[in-house]
Amino acid sequence: MVLVFAESPRGQFKKSAFEAVTYGKKVADMMGVACEVLTLGTVQDAAQLGKYGASKVLNIADTAYNDFDSQEQAAAIADVAKSRGATVIILSHSSTGKSISGRVAIRLDAGLVSGANALPTISGGAFTVTKGVFSGKAIAEYAITSPIKVVSLMGNAVKPEVSGQPAHVENITTSAAKGRIRVKSVKTQEGTVPLPEAEIVVSAGRGMKGPENWGIVEDLAKTLNATTACSRPVADSHWRPHHEHVGQTGIAIRPNLYIAIGISGAIQHLAGVNNSKVIVVINKDSEAPFFKAADYGVVGDLFEIVPRLTDAFKKFKANQ
C-alpha cells in the first residue's frame, strides 16, 4: 500500500497536497496496490482527496494535530504506515514536510529521497527516484534499497490530476502526546500564491534601480496572476522582502513561466530558477549571462518594455 500524507495547514489543503496524492496514486498504480491518504487534525473536505486518487482517506481528528509539531506528526504518520502495512510513504517537500520526512524515515528504518522531481522507476525489486541537486545544476538518481521507502515531492513536479470520485473518510482515534512545540501565531500574506507553488513568477533585480520603481513589476504580476520574486542583492538592500529572494541561497522554484527583469543571471541566481519551464529575460545588456539560460529574450530598457508587456498581456486577456 502507498500512504500519502496530505498536509492541511490551518485545515485547508493546498496544491501541494493534491500533487502528493496524484503522485501517490500513480506510484500505487505502478505497484498494483491501493493509495491511501492520511490527514491530521481538523480538515475541511478530506473526501475531495479521492478525486486525486485516494482509495480511502484516514483522518486523525485530534485537534492537537492542527498546529505544526514535527515530532507528533511524524509519529502519527509512521504509526499509521506500520498499522496499514504501507511500503511507500509520500509527503510534500514543503516547509512542514522538511521537518517531518526525515523523522518518518528513521522511525520506519526507511530510505528517504527528499525533493523528488519525477515519478520513480520501479522494476523488479529496484526503486529509483530522481531529484535536482547542486541547486538545480544537476539531476541525481537515487536507489532506495530498504523495504520501506519514503519520498518527499518537490512542488510543481507533477500536476494535480482528477481521476476519481470523493473518497470515504475513516476516522482513526489515537491521540497526540503533549508536544514540546507550541505554535504562537501564524502570519501569511493573503491573496498571493506562495513562491514555491506559483505557476508564473515575475522577478526583478538591481536593474530596477530602486524600490520605488517596483510598480511596473507589480502591475505585470497582477495582470498575470503571478507571484513576485527578486534577486539576492535586491533583498539584501531591503528593496524587497527576504521571502522574495530566489536563487541558490534563496528559494528554489520551478514555475511554468519565469520572467526575469533587470537581472544579470549570475550562476547563483540561475541555480534556483533554471528548472522553470519557460524563461523570459528582459535586460538592456545583450551580453547578460541570463540570455544563455533563456527561452525568450528582449534586449532593451526595462522601464519601457515592462509596461508595454503588461499592456500586451492585458490585450491578450481581453481577447480570450
Q: Tell me: does residue 315 bind another protein (CB under 8 A).
A: yes
Sole window of 18-26, 52-60, 160-168, 301-309 interacting with another protein (rule: CB under 8 A): 301-309
Contact 216, 306 (CB under 8 A): yes
Torsion of Cα atoms, 260 then 311 then 255 then 31, to 10°: -160
Contact stretch for another protein (CB under 8 A) within 29-37, 50-58, 166-174, 311-319: 311-319
When CB distances are held under 5 to 8 angstroms depending on the partner's kind, the choice from ligand FAD, another protein, none that residue 303 binds is ligand FAD
Label residue 77 left, alpha or beta by phi (over 0 means left) and psi (-120 to 50 means alpha): alpha
When CB distances are held under 5 to 8 angstroms depending on the partner's kind, the choice from ligand FAD, another protein, none that residue 143 binds is another protein
Minimum CB distance to another protein smaller for 264 or for 275: 275
Count of CB atoms within 10 A of residue 121's CB? 13
Taking residues 99 to 138 in sequence order and writing x for each that binds another protein by CB under 8 A, - otherwise, the string is: xxxxx-xxx-xxxxxxx------------x--xxxxxxxx
C-beta closer to another protein: residue 204 or 280: 280
x-marked contacts with another protein along 149-188 as a string, rule CB under 8 A: ------------------------------xxxxxxxxxx
**Rounded to the nearest whole angstrom, what is the least distance from the CB of residue 82 to another protein in the complex?**
15
* Cell numbers placing 20: 502528493
Nearer to ligand FAD among residue 159 and residue 292 (C-beta): 292
Site string for another protein, 65-94 (x = CB under 8 A): ---xxxx--x------------------xx
Instruction: Note the residue count of the chain.
Output: 320
**Distance between CA atoms of residues 237 and 210, nearest Å:** 9
CB of 192 closer than 8 Å to CB of 149? no
For residue 12, the tally of other CB atoms under 10 A from its CB is 11
CB 112 within 8 A of CB 102: yes
